[in-house]
Amino acid sequence: MSATVAAPAPVVFKAACPDCRARFELDATALRLAIGASRRTTFYSFTCPECGTAVRKPAGERIIELLTGGGVRTLRLHQTV
């Protein structure tokens, strides 16, 4: 008797492009999260799969929680003195 372990379903995030208005789903590898010292420097980004536009959107606490929990690569920006 062998136990079979099901692989977890990949996490996908719903997103939209402000330029071409396309709506789509992206996996964690298609997104980047940057966490800075302020709201202005905390954002997530992706490239629209429809039109190729680089999209950057603000990320609040809930978005940060969802993206990090879903395996999105995170860059912590440090303030230089």
Q: Which whole number is the average pLDDT over 10-39?
A: 95
- Residue 13 near residue 55, CB atoms below 8 Å: no
pLDDT tens, position by position, 28-52: 999 999 999 988 899 999 999 999 9
- pLDDT at residue 79 tops 80: no
**Which pLDDT score is estimated for 10?**
76
Tokens 């999105």 found at: 72
Q: Could you tell me the pLDDT band of residue 8, with boundaries at 50, 70 and 90?
A: low
Distance CA 68, CA 64 (A): 6
- Residue 32 near residue 44, CB atoms below 8 Å: yes
- Residue 33 near residue 44, CB atoms below 8 Å: yes
- pLDDT at residue 81 tops 60: no
Say what the pTM is: 0.81
Beta bridge partners of 33: 44, 74
Residue 28 has φ and ψ, to the nearest 5°, of: -60, -30
